Chain A
Amino acid sequence: MLLRILSLLLLIAIWQAASMLAASRLLPEPLAVVDVMLREARSGALFFNLGTTLARVAISFALAMFFGTLFGILMGRSVTLDRLGDPWLVVLLNLPALVIIVLAYIWIGLTDTAAILAVALNKLPNATVTIREGARSLDAGLEEMATVFAMPWQTRLRHVLLPQLAPYVAAATRSGLSIVWKIVLVVELLGRSNGVGFEIGTAFQVFDVALLLAYALPFVGIMLAIESFLVQPFEQHVSRWRIKTA
């Protein structure tokens, strides 16, 4: 942990040194970025834009995970559904994110619905493939046990099926969050008039790097916090029954 903090401090030191050497508006000092950050925070714009972007991340991520899990389970369990769905999945996996985003805006309009749908569609195939892998490796013995003991479907879902899928859900969550939050910025840049992506686009037009970083860094910080304070503890919780090797 100490080493990580040291490494982070070193990065900031290099940034400081580089900005002093360059002495340019295009590479501002760390403190100048903090200044802009405080200014944006005081006006409330920082929180509004961060909140808007986070809401888009949350909704599209939830949509993608829910349907990805559903389709993944169905395709992992049924050979027919797998054959039917697989070509769609391959098409969606290989469609560039930009194409989906632009098409969504053209067909649906420059709305939040289009933005969120585009992001969710980008993440969906990814989640489906991961969960399908999990659904294929389900333990048939436990399923038979649940059948013989006539467990109701809620029990089977919660205590037999989902715990087996948990490592796959965690993996999909991890990779999913990082995909989603990056794509959300692109979507905002292209077709929304608020959010971190929009602000970065504005900063780009006037080459205001300080403003750009003032929005980018807090956002990265929040995503890192979500990863280490929500995703990792969840992973640890669902694997608590495994025998500790250490």
Chain B
Amino acid sequence: MRKAFRTASGEVREVLRDFSTSLAVGKIHALVGPSGYGKTTALRIVIGLDRDFEGMVTLPLGTKIGMVFQEPRLLPWRSVLDNLRLAAPRASEANLVRIATDLGIAGHLRYFPGELSLGLARRVALARAFAVDPNFLVLDEPFVSLDAALAMRLGDELVALVEHTEVTTLLVTHDIDEAIRLADHIMLLGGRPAKIVADFDIAFPRAAMTANYAAKIKAQIGAVIAEAVA
């Protein structure tokens, strides 16, 4: 697909061209690229928030999206529990509490979002995405601006939930290490206008991954990036 913006000065700027991919069911896909290369744009097109583009997006019938935005985007005037309920009116109370417990926010269900730290608010956003029992989970830099240890821990919690529910996941990130640590499949975004310049299937994802293997993948990605820049 192709996406062009009309800039404030009136000229047309192409952001994405020949962007094409397909996502395997039940896998974690990471879309990796530097800031400003249209990752979020691509993601907004995929989930239908942006309809002004050329091309085609096909989602299976009955796709239920669970989304985690870059900012938590919680309703500040509703309690944490109400935020979950409103997004997932059909989820049972027990289910919501279980998800909240998995993410370590069970003690904060009565709080208003403004009373939470950013880390907690992000957990609530994750909980909300899982609460709708999605078959397509979309995450836009969900751990950005958290400290490394917390980002690591939330990443592990995310993986545990995804492996448990076998939901198809699209993770957008600029962090190559994070992508290697979490994904089954990495798509590298590059060029201007941007498209997917390389694909990597991770043969031994997550728990099965050894430090050696991770280093090898990272070296491959580094080589592609070096080539793209050259």
Contact = CB atoms under 8 A, between A and B. Distances in A.
A159 interface: yes
Nearest to B128: A149
B65 A148 contact: yes
Contact of A151 (B49, B65, B86): B86
Contacts of A166: 77
Nearest to A142: B73
A141 B64 CA distance: 19
Contact of A147 (B49, B112, B114): B49
Contacts of B78: 159, 163, 241
B142 to A, nearest CB: 14
A241 B67 contact: no
Contacts of B200: none
B33 to A, nearest CB: 21
A160 B75 contact: yes
A148 B112 CA distance: 22
B114 A144 contact: no
Interface in B108-125: 112, 114-115
Chain A interface residue bracket vs B: 10 to 19
Contact of A141 (B47, B71, B114): B71
B114 A243 contact: yes
B213 interface: no
Interface string B74-86: 0111100010001
Nearest to B50: A144
Interface of B: 47-49, 64-65, 67, 69, 71, 73, 75-78, 82, 86-87, 89, 112, 114-115, 128, 132, 138
Contacts of A141: 69, 71, 73
A148 B75 contact: no
A149 B114 contact: no
Interface in A46-93: none
10 contacts: A141-B71, A141-B73, A148-B49, A148-B65, A149-B65, A159-B75, A159-B82, A163-B77, A241-B76, A243-B114
A4 interface: no
B115 A145 contact: no
Counting from the closest, the 3 A-B pairs by CB-CB distance are A163-B77, A241-B112, A241-B77
Nearest to B78: A159
B198 to A, nearest CB: 29
Given A148-B49, A243-B114, 16 more contacts: A141-B71, A141-B73, A142-B73, A144-B69, A145-B69, A145-B73, A148-B48, A148-B67, A149-B87, A159-B77, A159-B78, A159-B82, A159-B86, A163-B75, A163-B78, A238-B77
Contacts of A142: 73, 75
Given A241-B114, A243-B115, A149 B132 contact: yes
A160 B64 CA distance: 20
B75 A149 contact: no
B213 to A, nearest CB: 35
Contacts of A155: 86, 89
